[in-house]
Amino acid sequence: MDSIVTQILLFGITFLSGCVFLFVNLNKERSLKILLSFSGAFLFGLTILHFLPELFHDYKPSYGLFVLIGFSIQLVLEFMTQGIDHGHYHKSHNEKIKSTALIGLFLHALFEATPLAEGHAHHGGDEHFHDYFFTGLILHKLPVAIVFGSMLNHYIGKKLKSFLILGLFSLMAPLGLLLSEEIMFFQTYHQYFMAIVIGIFLYISTTILFEISENHGFNLSKFVSIIIGFGIAASTSLLLL
C-alpha cells in the first residue's frame, strides 16, 4: 500500500470515527466492549502469529529486551492516559480532560505507527507484514477514536475545540509514519522500534482481554468475539497467500 494512501486512511478512519461520537452519546457500553474484545484478541493474535516471528526472523538477544522496554513505556503511558489508549473510559461530571492524558494519548498514537514505513516491511521475509500491521493498527484505533470522541463530547461538546483536538490526535499516526520514513535514525534501528511497539501491543491487547472479564464472570458474547478475533488473525496467513 502506498505511503500517502496509508497516511490518508489512518487520518480519515480515526477522525471520522471520533467525529461520529461527538454527535452520538456513548450510553450503551456493551457494544463497545464487544468491539474492544474483538480488537484486543485480533491484535494479540497478529502480534503472536506475525509481528513476533517477523521481529525474531533475524534473531538478536536485545530484541526481547526492547519488547520489555515497550511494555514498560506503555505502562507509563497508561498512567498518563488513564486507559483511553485502549478504549477505557469512565465518565465524570466533575473533571476535565487532563493535559497529561492528551500528551500520553498523542505520544502513543505517534509511536505505534512507526513500523508501518514501507522501508520496514519485508525485512524479515514476510511480504504481507505491512498489511497485517496496518489492519491490526486500524482495528486498535477504531475503539480508541470512539472513546476519545465520546470524551470530547462529554467534556467539551460539539465545539471547534473538540474537532481541533480530534484532528491533532488523528494526525499523530500519519506523522509517526512520515517521521519513520524520513529520519534515518528510524530506518537504521527500525527493528528495535518494532520491538518496542510489539511490547506496547502486548500490553494493550492483554489489558483489554483482562479488563473485559468483569468480576471474572463468563460472558458468552465477549467470549465469541474473542474467538472470532483469534480466528481471523489466524486465517490472515491463508487469506493473503
Q: Which three cell numbers stand for residue 220?
A: 458468552
Closest-CA residue to 207 (of 85, 122, 119, 118): 85
Q: What angle do CA 90, 93, 94 make, to 5 degrees?
A: 105
Helix (H, G, I), strand (E, B) or coil at 92: coil
Q: Which domain holds residue 36?
A: 3-20+31-239
> Is the Cβ–Cβ distance between 198 and 52 less than 8 Å?
yes
Which uninterrupted H or E stretch holds 4? Answer: helix 3-23
The x, y and z cell numbers of residue 150, run together, are 465520546
User: Buried (b) or exposed (e) across 41-60, using 16+ Cβ within 10 A?
Assistant: bbbbbbbbbbbbebbbeeee
SS3 content of the chain, % helix, strand, coil (to 5): 80, 0, 20
* DSSP tally for the chain: helices H, then strands E: 10, 0
The answer to whether residue 26 sits within a structural domain is no
Residue 51 lies in a domain: yes
Whether 25 is in a domain gets the answer no
Domain count, the chain: 1
Integer Cα distance of 90 and 60 in angstroms: 41
Phi, psi of 88 (to 5 degrees): -95, 130
Q: pLDDT tens digits, the chain, 241 residues: what are they?
A: 677 888 999 999 999 989 988 887 765 566 777 878 888 898 899 899 888 988 888 888 899 999 999 999 999 988 888 777 666 655 555 567 788 888 989 998 998 888 887 655 444 455 577 788 888 888 888 888 888 888 888 888 888 999 999 999 999 999 999 988 888 888 888 889 999 999 999 998 888 887 766 665 667 888 888 899 898 888 876 655 4
